[in-house]
Structure 1
Amino acid sequence: MASKLLIQQPQPVMVVQDSDEWGSGICDCFEDLPECCFGFWCLPCFACRTSKKFGEDLCIPLLELFFGGLIPPITMSMRVAMRYRYGIKGSMCMDCVYSTFCAACSWCQMAREIRRRDLPIVLVNARHK
């Protein structure tokens, strides 16, 4: 008589403990001064690097240099996407204002948020059935 061995892996459980607010304010550059200096002095390079860290195409922010117009569409869409992905409260109106009048500060805030929320996943309550 043959017996079967059944092995079942524990399933990961992800507990979200993040706030529904931005981790830093739009003008909190002193939280990471080297990053903000990089963002201020070389915004296209900084925006491309931040976009890549967020999982988007590396060169997508460069489209604003060529097709920007009055409202920078890439910066605004990245802010909106980040708010939705991380569950951050806000409005498209404020995203538009920050993207239009504070582009460098907006990219710096997004970079700080990615770094703050990019934590390794820890298994919680993994158990055998």
Structure 2
Amino acid sequence: MYDEKNHPHLPSAPPVVYGQPVSSGFPAAAYGQQQGGGGGGSNNNWSTGLCGCFEDVPNCCLTFWCPCITFGQIAEIVDRGSTSCGASGALYTLILMLVGCTCCYSCFYRTKMRKQYSLPETPCGDCLIHCFCETCALCQEYRELKNQGFDMSLGWHGNVERQNRGDVAMVPPPPSGGEYGGMTR
């Protein structure tokens, strides 16, 4: 049960969606709410550095050889299941083959993810990071989502199902009635 004394960073009445409180194990930033009690600028930082690719060697290798898979997994989670991993990865590959510049597409997902989790735009702009360090950027985004509690191999719907079974403390499905609206209190 919710105990304000053990969770001082949460508001006194935790948000409830579909009858389930958003647990402290998953940041409220997933619904556009800022951690740390709200207020001014971003208090959050990336959980790993841009050049921390070797913190997850299997993903680093996969991203180096086949970035479309990593990008697809990131896009599915960031889009909250509205696009599939396969569709996003295929579009990424198509852009790579036709234009050769996937950074123009992938940087938008970094920006979207940063806004969802109130992450700073560091060390420089999202488009510059993806333009010059595409592999490192994708690896960092993957690790960030993984550190937020997602099992990246399951995709959005698999993570929601896992949360509904009570296997982990994660965010419930997005509410209906807009991106952040719906049944909350």
Decide: shared fold, TM above 0.5: yes
Code of the residue aligned with 1:37 in structure 2: it is C
Pick from 122, 128, 153 the counterpart of residue 97 of structure 1. 128
The structure in which a higher percent of residues are helix is: 1
What is the rounded CA distance, in whole Å, between the counterparts of 1:74 and 1:87 in structure 2?
A: 21
Structure 2: which 5+ runs fail to align? 1-18, 28-34, 37-42, 151-168, 172-185
Query: Displacement, 1:68?
Result: 5.5
After TM superposition, list the pairs within 5 Å mapping 1:1-129 onto structure 2: 12=21, 14-15=23-24, 16=27, 20-54=44-78, 55=80, 57=83, 58=85, 59-60=87-88, 61-65=92-96, 66-67=98-99, 69=101, 72-90=103-121, 94-118=125-149, 120-121=169-170
Query: Displacement, 1:13?
Result: 5.8
What is the rounded CA distance, in whole Å, between the counterparts of 1:35 and 1:13 in structure 2?
A: 28
CA-based RMSD: 2.8
Which structure has more relative contact order (CA 8 Å, sep 6+)? It is 1
Code of the residue aligned with 1:109 in structure 2: it is Q
Is the Cα–Cα contact under 8 Å of residues 103 and 131 in structure 2 kept in the other structure? yes
Give the 3 Å change call, closer, same or farther, for CA 67–86 of structure 1 in structure 2. Answer: same
Corresponding residue SS for 2:125: helix
Following TM superposition, the consecutive aligned residue runs of length 4 or more in structure 1 with deviations greater than 3 angstroms are 13-19, 66-69
Larger radius of gyration: 1
Is the Cα–Cα contact under 8 Å of residues 76 and 96 in structure 1 kept in the other structure? yes
Percent pairwise identity: 32
* TM-score normalized with structure 2 length: 0.51
Corresponding residue SS for 1:107: helix
The total of aligned residue pairs comes to 111
Is the Cα–Cα contact under 8 Å of residues 24 and 109 in structure 1 kept in the other structure? yes
CA offsets, 1:60-107, max 9 Å, x none? 3335323554x722211011001000010116x521111101111111
What is the rounded CA distance, in whole Å, between the counterparts of 1:13 and 1:98 in structure 2?
A: 32
Structure 1: which 5+ runs fail to align? 1-9, 123-129
Is the Cα–Cα contact under 8 Å of residues 63 and 74 in structure 1 kept in the other structure? no
